[in-house]
Structure 1
């Protein structure tokens, strides 16, 4: 108990930093919101699961020094940045095409298993191609670990943040696939999709033109 209490403040700081990063609106959160409203709960949860998995992967890479290695070699982050920027522009194109389309599929329809996999992989892609996740996880691990921290603290950070990620991303999926949010989407589909297109496009261009 003494050892746990000794490192508990570090864990709280790491969890708090992760919550701030996760709750902040970004491409992954907006993708979960938009997919949940447009395609229903199952699609939204599938995409949220993909985002959660990619967040867990980033945590493992950060905890064992891989993200620091990536940050030390600029060309690897440039590759991630270019891939992420192009992917966001593709999402912007998809949203714009949906905004310009007059008809729309039923928002609450249940997707097939193949579509579940597609949304899941989309969630993985939108977060794994975000270079900001590299620096966010370096900061989280740095805040939560001391040089004398035992190995269990590392796994406590990874496991705790994984649970928080599932809860936060799952909450977004469930909240935005509720009946009121789906009705809101149906009544303002073009405006919502157009706004998402602008957001994804601006984020993609900013990522492609920014300096790391």
Structure 2
């Protein structure tokens, strides 16, 4: 019973972290509004796999090593920051396409694999995610926790991650929401570009900080 309550605590802590607005969730919401539910669900699955990558890193103890390795963490943050800035550029560029429309045919032509890979890359390129994982896992972990419990905790957080990304995909792909998006698409894309820019610059700044977090 204690283990179940601990898993619930870990799952809830991870839900709070995962559901909060950030580059991944905002990009998923934007894709749901502009490309539709199927593409967003595929993209969200990619985000979840990218999130799981850092969960495995944190659970295996590499998270502590990563936090202690200044140069490795710096390199990862630089890569993540540059990628976020690239996404900012793509969002800003697409904001000038005032004729953006949702089309099932267009979605099929894009290719689901590309959207899945984009999701994986976005979440796996942010090393700060490992800190969120370690914080969530520490909520329910104790000195008596064994390897089996750790695996169960990671699987619980993984399930929460998929549910959160699926929730964003379903919520923002509702017809009414998509119709509103079509009217303000250029502004949404520019706001998203701004968020990506701030997140990317934040990672780069953190990479070159004397006390990288």
- TM-score of the superposed pair, with normalisation by structure 2: 0.91
1:70 has 2:70 as partner: no
User: Which consecutive residues of structure 1, in runs of 5 or more, have no partner in the other structure?
Assistant: none
193, 198, 211: which one pairs with 1:197? 193
Aligned residue in 2 for 1:107: 102
* Partner of residue 145, structure 1: 141
Q: Post-superposition shift, 1:12? A: 2.4
The whole-number CA distance in structure 1 between the counterparts of 2:103 and 2:136 is 37
Answer yes or no: is 1:53 the counterpart of 2:49.
yes
The answer to whether the 8 A contact 1:58-1:133 is kept is: yes
1:32 alignment counterpart: 28
Alpha-carbon shift at residue 18 of structure 1 (Å):
0.3
Query: How much has 1:35 moved relative to structure 2?
Result: 0.8
Structure 1 residue corresponding to 2:169, chosen from 170, 173, 178:
173
In structure 2, do the counterparts of structure 1 residues 185 and 25 end up closer, same or farther at CA, with 3 Å as the change threshold?
Answer: same
Structure 2 residue runs without a partner (length 5+): none
The number of residue pairs the alignment matches comes to: 207
Check whether the contact 2:98–2:185 (CA below 8 A) recurs between aligned residues: no
Distance, in Å, in 2 between the alignment partners of 1:114 and 1:180 is 23
Q: Which residue of 1 aligns with 2:11?
A: 15
- Cα deviation digits, residues 93-145 of structure 1 (max 9, x gap): 111111122332x3242523762111111111111111220111122222222
1:44 pairs with 37, 40, 44, which one?
Answer: 40
CA offset at residue 22 of structure 1?
0.4
* Native 8 Å contact 1:108 1:182 kept in 2: no
Q: 1: CA distance between counterparts of 2:149 and 2:27? A: 32
Distance 2:141 2:93 in 1: 46
Equivalent residue number for residue 154 of structure 1:
150
Asked if the contact 2:24/2:47 (under 8 Å) is kept, the reply is: yes
- Flag as ranges the 4+ runs of structure 1 deviating above 6 A: none
